[in-house]
Chain A
């Protein structure tokens, strides 16, 4: 029986494949995601999974900031908007190819967020949450009143579909592939970030900023780095939203979306990549479950009431997970897994 996992070398601590099984598992997950699902899933499920994937990109990004660097952002919807509009306008007005527009959009979202990060991260405490709340309202105002940027009615910008070989975003399969390729890259990047000096420095700053500063780890620098990465990934999720929906408008990127991202990482589990993915799936599926389950028990909701109910449920989800299971759904999963691994001596 396994009694625990003991590391003898430092390299074992940071290994991606902690056990030989993990390599098999990761390959299996990749095979299912990129081969099995596109072949067998119905269009309905492809659409749902694409939405989950877009949310998962944003949630993984936000988790770098909240889970690893211990700061709160209430402006991730705004940074997603900056990404989406940068990419959409580069393609539609400057005829940039998508492989130029998407990285540029991510950098733009990251650099834009640094204005707010520089103002607030120099001070100890959760001032970033206040500055990003301001960012949220400022961006919403810019999008709705500076029509020379957004170009008119409700700031609608059309996204030209990407058509490269099998990657054709006019089809559900193409959208699904685009989103999950992006998600796989983001997950790989964040996983590697956390194995590196920078990632461990972020955790050090979160846990003991004074000790970190004493070890020549600059708190400001690593909080800013975490915020930059997190916002750039949020920008990517905005771009993916645009390609999936075919257009973006001002009313997508609201404070409610920012809170929704927070709900995802708290429901999934702070500071864990599988947690971000689980949380994104849980929060994205919530409206779908509501739509399917409530009529089944005889409750009919109008569309506007449903929006309010969801706003409330996101808050309830954050609060319940905070109080009852701070490690989130992934923590619950670990508990169950440990129970069966240790069975019948589960103490």
Chain B
């Protein structure tokens, strides 16, 4: 029983970190409707930038993390400006293909700049584990999950209340209609990619602290999809719920199934869940059911 509780709690907390990965993806879908295959790679880039700033450059933490967020926002806006804007009147196929290409570019570029070795991020919080009632959670995971909750609340508020947030949703809903109402599509697209970059910087910091900074982090990019397919491609609440479910699936399969099905099953279990969700409910829990079946 205690093992079950332990797996549940660590699944929920890790799930919040998956929600953080997925949030960057959701923001891009909300702002431009593009299925972004490069978010995982942008997160890796964020992790390398923050690790470089904090260790090699030696910037203090309170400056380094915000600086990374700014740098990655510029990177995100740059991606939009130079890779996606030239394609803005092309088909969705071209846009998605461009994000696949960007992923490949970043995957090659990062180890060329920083090498293949494992890097680390200095700890802000000491590496302990909180112990409550026999359940132990690493401190970094706990505080990251709290940060994610605050961030998700802020983004939820932004999208449902602010003028720009509503404009972004309008653009993803119907580009032409939004444009004819006077919404600046270029601005909206640039803002959504910049936000995705900023979120990726935070995700890179959190995941880099947890797992070490290394180009193998790109595997996280594949885990974004189970989260967003389950939650619904453009739902922030969905990203949280999807993240928690993926965290639980991963944690339980690591605890109970890895021995029977082979090592590393916990890493692909969310992907198998993704296929099941596509079969049963392709628009996810909180997506708009207007997705058309053909």
Chain A residues at the B interface, C-beta cutoff of 8 Å: 66, 70, 72, 74, 115-116, 118-127, 129-131, 133-134, 137-138, 141, 144-146, 209, 213, 219-220, 223, 256, 259, 262-263, 266, 304-305, 308-319, 322-323, 326
Interface string of B99-133 (1 = CB under 8 A from A): 01111111111011000100000000000000000
DSSP majority for the B interface?
A: helix
List chain B positions with a Cβ less than 8 A from chain A.
35, 37, 83, 86-87, 90-94, 96-98, 100-109, 111-112, 116, 219, 222, 225-226, 229, 262-265, 267-268, 271-272, 274-275, 278-279, 282-283, 291-294
Our pick among B35, B109, B274, B294 for the contact of A129 (Cβ within 8 Å) is: B35
A138→B268 contact, CB < 8 A: yes
A131-B278, A309-B112 known; A314+B104 contact, CB < 8 A:
yes
Cross-chain contact of A213 among B37, B83, B274, B294 (Cβ < 8 A): B294
By a CB distance below 8 angstroms, the chain B residues around A308 are: 107-109, 111-112
Q: Of the candidates A130, A262, A311, which one forms a contact with B229 in the assembled complex, judged by CB atoms under 8 Å apart?
A: A130
Say how far A303's CB is from chain B's closest CB, in angstroms: 11
A220 to B282, CA, bound (A): 15
Q: A134-B222, A317-B101 are in contact. List 10 more A-B contacts (CB 8 A).
A: A72-B100, A125-B92, A133-B222, A137-B222, A141-B268, A259-B103, A309-B108, A315-B102, A318-B101, A319-B105
Check B112 against A126 for contact (C-beta < 8 Å). no
The reply to whether B278 and A315 form a contact with Cβ atoms under 8 Å apart is no
Contacts of A144 in B (CB 8 A): 264
Task: Using CB atoms, name the residue of chain A closest to B83.
Answer: A319
Q: Which residues of A contact B98 (CB under 8 A)?
A: 318-319, 322
* Minimal Cβ-Cβ distance residue in B for A270: B93
State A129–B105 Cα separation when bound (angstroms).
18
Chain B residues whose C-beta falls within 8 Å of the C-beta of A131 in the assembled complex: 274-275, 278
CA distance A85 to B227 in the complex (A): 31
- Asked if A123 and B292 make an inter-chain contact with CB atoms under 8 angstroms apart, the answer reads yes
User: Residue of B at shortest CB range from A147?
Assistant: B262
Tell whether, in the assembled complex, residue B271 and residue A134 are in contact, meaning their CB atoms are under 8 Å apart: yes
Q: Is the CB of B86 within 8 A of A74?
A: no
Q: Is the CB of A310 within 8 A of B90?
A: no
- Select A262's contact among B94, B100, B108, B225, beta carbons within 8 Å: B100
User: What are the 10 A-B residue pairs with the smallest beta carbon separation, nearest first?
Assistant: A312-B108, A315-B104, A311-B108, A315-B105, A145-B262, A318-B101, A134-B271, A119-B278, A219-B294, A124-B292
Q: Is the CB of A129 within 8 A of B101?
A: no
Asked whether B225 lies within 8 Å of A134 as measured between CB atoms, the reply is: yes
Cross-interface CB contact of B275 among A134, A309, A310, cutoff 8 Å: A134
Q: Are the CB atoms of A259 and B268 closer together than 8 Å?
A: no
8 CB-based A-B contacts, threshold 8 Å: A120-B282, A130-B274, A262-B100, A304-B111, A305-B112, A308-B109, A310-B108, A323-B83
